[in-house]
Amino acid sequence: MIFRTAICAVLLLATALPAVAEKGVPVPVAKPATTGGEAPTGSTTPAPATAAASSAPATTAPLPSTLTIPPPAAGLMPSAEDLIKSGRALNDDGEGDQAFGAFQRGLYLTAFTVAMSRAERGDAAAATLLGRLYGEGLGVKQNDKASAAWYQQGALAGDPNAQLALGLLYLDGRGLKKDRAKAADAFEQAAEWNEPQALYNLGLLYLEGQVRPKDSEKAASLFSKSAGLGNIDAQYGLAQLYAEGEGVLLDDGISTMWIAKAAKAGHPDAAVEYGIRLFNGIGTKKDIIAAAGWFRRAAESGNPVGQNRYARVLATGMGTPRDPAQAAKWHLIAAKRGTKDEWLDEFVAKLPEAERKAAEIAAERWPSGG
């Protein structure tokens, strides 16, 4: 099942948690009231995206859904900037948090000392900071068990960021025994605060249907909340649900709107699919020039499907000036990364030897010399 793969992706990406050194830590706010759950029903399996039209036969594999690969932010804690914007970096008096400030400046030992003093007095945000410091080995020796213990304390004290982090640790089995049901519980607690990544991860669990009942409507609701809060993975995931009518009414226009939002916010797969939808006029006015621009953006960002689509428009001159040498270069780059295309293989083989050799050299030098 596609969504079982998606949850495995979240599992894998949870290992990224201790790898991000310069992120922020939270400070507690009043715990919100818990709302009642919805009755679980249904399931979902989104189909692959439509390939871009071309005068050449479409021989490439369909565009992969972002729900089948590790979402880029699923295992990451909120950034310092996000926390400042949310107000969680301030204490009850509205003054800057000393431990958090030291953490931001890279003074990890100072942050650890101040946070330890506050955590021992029951400060949830300080406990979360200690979890972060131990998890990443900043100012102290890296220790997964200590990290998990401090995250647990912060989570129990009501810190949504600690709850999110704890859920990721349970998914990965880092510092404590792997337990996906407890991970779902932790995500659910953080989701009560409308924590965007927790909402998205919980939605994936409802789509998978193992530790939560399969419920595409519930998943769509969680994705919608997360997407509205700016989570680009949720925006793209919600677009897939609207494209298939799973958990929501089928609506290509709304699907394309969410894909566009995710693409403009920097989601690499959304950039490709938005280009495809512009090229074919799916849920939006047909615009092959704009489509070519999105294919180029995706190609230059390193997306192999975007590189393939950009090679095709360069080869055919649809939406951008025809450039056989550049088309060959991008095809070779994409092919090296696993995106095969027999039509472009033949196109490159028919090029003059000098152009073909130049394209091969340019492909080898990309990205440094591309």
Give domain limits for the chain: 2-267, 287-370
**C-beta neighbour count of 288 within 10 angstroms:** 18
pLDDT digits (tens, 9 = 90+) for 235-284: 999 999 999 999 999 999 999 999 999 999 999 899 999 999 999 999 99
- Spatial contact of 334 and 307, defined as CB atoms under 8 Å apart: yes
* Predicted confidence band of residue 54 (pLDDT cuts 50, 70, 90): very low
* Predicted confidence band of residue 41 (pLDDT cuts 50, 70, 90): very low
**What percent of the chain lies above the pLDDT cut of 70?**
74
Candidates 123, 101, 108, 150; CA nearest to 21 is 108
- Spatial contact of 140 and 112, defined as CB atoms under 8 Å apart: yes
Rounded-to-integer distance, Cα 140 and Cα 367, Å: 37
Rounded-to-integer distance, Cα 240 and Cα 48, Å: 9
In this prediction, residues 78-85 reach a mean pLDDT of 46
Mean per-residue pLDDT over the chain, rounded: 79
Q: What is the pLDDT of residue 81?
A: 52
CA angle 340, 265, 253 (to 5 degrees): 80
50 against 274, higher pLDDT:
274
Q: Over 60: is that where the pLDDT of 35 sits?
A: no
| Amino acid at position 154, single letter | G
Q: Over 60: is that where the pLDDT of 19 sits?
A: no
pLDDT digits (tens, 9 = 90+) for 100-143: 889 989 999 999 999 998 888 888 999 999 999 999 999 999 99
CA distances for 72 relative to 10, 14, 125, 359, angstroms: 9, 11, 25, 31
CATH of domain 2-267: 1.25.40.10
